[in-house]
A = this chain, B = another copy of it.
Amino acid sequence: LKVDLNSDLGESFGHYSIGNDAEIINLVTSVNIACGFHAGDPDVMAQTVKKAETAGIGIGAHPGYSDLQGFGRRRMNMSLIEVQHMITYQVGALEAFTKTKKLHHVKPHGALYNAAAQDHELALAVCRGIQAVDSELPLYGLANSELINAAKEVGIPYVQEVFGDRNYEADGTLVSRARPNAVITDPTTIAQRVVKMIEDQTVTAVSGQKVALKPDSVCVHGDNQAALAIVKTLRTALKEDGIKTETW
């Protein structure tokens, strides 16, 4: 058994620093690097790619809405073709900073990720934007979501992503952050949930029902010390259960 741990990186911008890139980079097997639209700038991108290359982990593009003020977390009503081209642009820009000129994956960011997980047409636009750059470049998308369906339809590889720190609905979607029980914060609980997801290929929804899912990659965070503690607890638990952390 094995699993990929992915995290967002390179979210600083100009004079503004954010995140604990130096710490989290050693705890994950792949990273999603901001591409200058919702966060990141060409200097941050160059430095972050270099760090990830040194760490020998999977380098993914993390394209988002062109909204630095909102950090890509505010949905924008763009046309499908605008979304497609916006993805191609950002993926190409990040790829240019790599030594190999080959990215490991693409994971849409924030409001774009959430919207495309539920909107098939939008998810298709995201996938077509990736495909235009490299038809063998995998999408990271919410397990069972429209992102995965769209990747299948468009014909690009995909990696199903799960969240150890989020509760699930019976239909496999995440419980909305507007609800009090959306987020799980206890490191041990999170670690146990992830191990169980990997071993059973299911997750227990808030309703008590079991939801089948394929946990190819787990999304983890490095925003603060609590987040880093969660990742360390998770890595220990995975190791104890003989689950390798390895990317695709």
A-to-B contact residues, CB < 8 Å: 13-16, 18, 36, 39, 41-43, 45-46, 66-71, 73-78, 81-82, 85-86, 88-97, 101, 111, 132-134
Contact = CB atoms under 8 A, between A and B. Distances in A.
Contact of A75 (B76, B89, B92, B132): B76
Contacts of A66: 69
Q: Which of A36, A68, A93, A101 has the most CB atoms of chain B within a 10 A radius of its CB?
A: A93
9 contacts: A14-B69, A15-B70, A46-B88, A75-B77, A88-B97, A91-B96, A92-B96, A93-B93, A96-B133
A36 B88 CA distance: 13
A27 to B, nearest CB: 22
Given A14-B68, A16-B18, A88-B97, 5 more contacts: A16-B16, A36-B89, A42-B85, A75-B76, A101-B134
Nearest to A94: B92
A75 to B, nearest CB: 4
Contact of A96 (B36, B43, B88): B88
A39 B69 CA distance: 11
Contacts of A91: 96
Contact of A46 (B18, B85, B95, B97): B85
A145 to B, nearest CB: 19
Nearest to A70: B14
